[in-house]
């Protein structure tokens, strides 16, 4: 018999989800979203030799809203397939993680 709550099980299912952003001349790129309290310092990305920034973020299954901060400027994901209006009058990108 399985014990424990489904809430605990959900937290155990976090999967590393890749985020990429092409910014060849950028000095700093971070990914911000509902998964890190929209904190521009929480998830710094690493620049590859090709000028593309990368980071794997552990996310729970479900819907996540996010954006990128590039040298202090908030930007959309150029690869986002879905966007949704945000409270600031702009849009957030949406990423779905399968469970």
- The reply to whether 7 falls in a domain is no
Let me know if residue 3 belongs to a domain: no
pLDDT digits 0-9 by tens, 20-57 = 999 999 999 999 999 999 999 999 999 999 999 999 99
Q: Quick check: is 69 in a domain?
A: yes
Question: Does residue 66 sit within a domain?
Answer: yes
- pLDDT digit string, tens, across residues 49-89: 999 999 999 999 999 999 999 999 999 999 999 999 999 89
| pTM of this structure | 0.85
Check residue 11 and give its pLDDT: 52
CATH number at residue 31: 2.60.40.10
**How far is 99 from 60, CA to CA, in rounded Å?**
8
Q: Is 53 exposed, middle or buried (0-12, 13-18, 19+ CB in 10 A)?
A: buried
Report CA-CA distances (Å) from 26 to 3, 62, 69, 77, 87: 48, 30, 10, 15, 27
């Amino acid at each position: 018999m399985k014990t424990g709550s489904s809430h605990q099980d959900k937290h155990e299912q976090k999967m590393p989800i890749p985020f990429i952003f092409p910014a060849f001349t950028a000095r700093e790129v971070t990914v911000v979203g509902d998964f890190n309290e929209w904190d521009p310092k929480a998830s710094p990305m690493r620049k590859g030799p090709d000028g593309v920034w990368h980071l794997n973020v552990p996310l729970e299954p479900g819907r996540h809203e996010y954006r990128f901060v590039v040298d202090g400027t908030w930007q959309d994901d150029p690869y986002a397939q879905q966007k949704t209006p945000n409270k600031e009058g702009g849009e957030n990108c949406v990423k779905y993680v399968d469970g």
